[in-house]
Chain A
Amino acid sequence: MQERNYDVLVIGAGAAGMAAALKVAEEGLKTAIVDREPFLGGILPQCIHNGFGVHLFKEELTGPEFAERFIQDVVKSDIDIYLNTTATSMAVHQPVKQVNLCSSEHGVFRINARAIVLAMGCRERNRGNLGIPGTRPAGIFTAGLAQRLINIDGYMPGKRVVIVGSGDIGLIMARRLTWTGAEVLAVVEILPYPSGITRNIVQCLNDFNIPLYLSHIITKIEGKERVEAVEITPLENGAPNYTKTFKVECDTLLFSVGLIPENELTQSAGIKINPETGGPLVDTRLMTSAEGVFACGNVLHVHDLVDWVSDEAQRCGKELINFLQGKTEKIEQGKVIAGANLKYVLPNRYRLGEKNRFSMRSLIVRDKATLVVRQGEKTIRQFTLRHVKPAEMFHVELKQEDLNDLVSNGELLPIEFSLS
């Protein structure tokens, strides 16, 4: 079997994979990047709407434009690119990691690498995951698949559309479908507030008078062959009130009901998963439970903005370099706990001697929220946040000096974040 040796193998060539690969290649490490698709950029090329890059490049770009900035750098760099290539399995619990790959173009081969970056992104939750009753006709798509069909392949998935879930992709698709001549009849959201970011509610629904039904669910799908109608039912006191069920005739149903990090490869390699995020458990180096295997982007936890993905991936690249240079091979870390009103805090470890950056998601919607970081009863740091909601990830930094005095009997004490 053909074997190729690299310092670093990056699995996935989307926003995260490209940024991480560029960072480590800059340092002169011999780097390879693999992706299943025939192009670089991951999901970005199908996101032809704008709004990308506001934080990273201080300008509004479309998905393809945002991707292009990285693609050009990757192509110009010394990074070896393997497209149309699938990583089928990997052995990672040893200093030299082995990844098995197959491809119609490159055949079947193995890459040996000193370090791996997992950047496989995520997949969409679907109708089956929700257990929505009714028939199983054609015409049920995830929003991302519909986006791909329209924007890349040039196929219209239907004419009269109902969208389930007010996640960002769903909102973007409501506008896109309207522009392409379809009628979007309703967006149905189980929560009492929208899941997508405010900008998208305004620009994608309100501007086109598309009705958004909050606290409503789909209680039935009808149609033997193709979707014919859906039943929509309001939730009252958390339970469906079937006396107020109404029917919307449509031929297409789109699901935008959340994303799941795509970690089957990770799990099959025996790497530990955090059940809260669906991504691997990582420490402050963004390193997984397998030494030398790092993770960043949506495979680690689902991000709301690609800017944060790139940012995290660059950080991941830097950590990987430090690790390979032996600077952080042994590192003392304390535990980080997600307390009241927080879904998770990532990474779930902190370390001393430098600033620590944390990403997290709120479980509540609140203006002027207070985030408190405590060790036991002692408050280490307090932040005031203008507005928090589950749909938007936020980040805070603890300074080096915040984390003094956290050692007891030679061990770092756990710290807890809580939101109120």
Chain B
Amino acid sequence: MDRNNPAISANSRTALRWLIYLAPLVFLLLFFLFPLARIMVYSLAPEGALDLSGFAQILTSPYYLEIIGFTIVQAFISTALTLILALPCAYVFTRYKFPGKSLLLTLSTLPFVLPPVVVAAAFIALLGERGLVNDALTGLFGFSQPPLQLEQTLTLVFIAHTFYNYPVALRIITAYWANQNEHIEQSARVLGAHGWRLWWNVRLPMLRPALTAAALLVFIFCFTSFGIMLILGGQRYATIEVEIYRQAIGVFNLQAAAALSLLQIGFMLVLMFVYTRLQRRNAANTELKSAITVSHHPRGWREKSFVALNLLIMVSLLFIPLMALVVRAITFGGNGISFRYFEMLTTNPRGSVLFTAPINAIGNSLIFASLTAILALILGLIATWMINDKRTRFAAWLDPLLMLPLATSAVTLGFGYILALGQPPLNIRSSLALIWFAHTLVALPFVVRSALPAYGALPANVRESASVLGASPIQRFLKIDLPLMRRAIIVGITFAFTVSIGEFGASLFIARPESTTMPIVIYRLLGQPGAANYGQALAMSTLLLLVCAAALVIIGRFRTPGTAEF
């Protein structure tokens, strides 16, 4: 009936659209804005009157200004290093075929799932004073002192930041690039552009949406770096995030912690504003292409060595530290290769109430990660749709808003949760669902950042034809947009899944024993002395890697329903 009455149809469609749009808005309101507002009011207006002396204290103290300056500078350097290394490799993955390519790309996300304390252990095992590299160099050249002195230096922090963030940059850029129309580049070549001019005048501008999206995420991560900075950087270097934790937990100066959190959020808002302007000025002038015919086997020694060099960098950066971890897990304690710490994980000699069998920890991790990926995907796609809806004015503020949770200190938000979500009707501060929602909040930006550039580059003519032929917006979304955005969506799901399984701020939220996940088991084991505990922590980290590798391979094989690989 509705079809015969355009007015009703339009009205009900608008209502439906708003109902759908409400989902991410309500989610952000309940699980981000409201708790954040509660903790800010509690900290900055304890007696009812707003007290902003915390800000004055921070902005006039050389101690805090130095921390703020350091935070920004180290984030810029880390981001630049990550992009410089990842971009040529993204080119290799886009343009060349080589054996093991898709598996390598899938597994490149692995660094992302490891807790910082485990990553730090891996890097120290590799590059520390008595690490593998120093041992090898000393053995070869007979140095009297270890030649690499990296512990508690910024160099090690930058290496670890690059290790964590390289996958983000690589995957976002590759997903976007693989669907780019090759004709522009071919035309440029015909017109005589080669070498660096081809990069500077054609490729970089073409990739700008993906480059800026990747740079933004990497920057936020390094800007809010916590565990890596603490463990590898030593105590001399503190980011704003570290200082917030110190003020909130060590000193219990909530006023300073809240003021620092707001400064951090404010800085991110400015950054997001600049970013959104840049993106809009550069409104997608390239279109997604469905047929991917552009990659070929490397030809000639120059191409071959270029591919080989980039893969070598990638493997040394990403996989050697992971291998060092696995090797240590099976050789720890001497006596050659052994799996005894894996076996020990399954036993509960003291009959502890809080014991979690590895299979249950794996199960819990997978459940949280899957639920997080599903919810983040649904909310993220709706948000992407909203941001691009010309009939609404969401883009200007929804996009920055969605990114903010990444820039919000976990301890601040955690305190907000226990203040805001402890009364009926929303008394969920110690429920399992809260962990799910908190993970989703952090995973959402990844889905949106991956989906937005792809959505912006959807071919307008195909979508219009579908509408003209009578497809509803939802049909068009499911049949045209989704399949065309498949790569970007898979990248989004991958990161949502890994963010959750790596368990952001694992120890900052209330945990029930029945929801013990793999990272929590690792933290618990590392919290007690004794070889058996350390060996088991290494074994659990290895299991975490294996489970994630398997899950990533499976996610990489997802197909959008109703479509073949395009």
Query: Is B truly associated with A?
Result: no
Q: Report which B residues bind A (CB closer than 8 A).
A: none
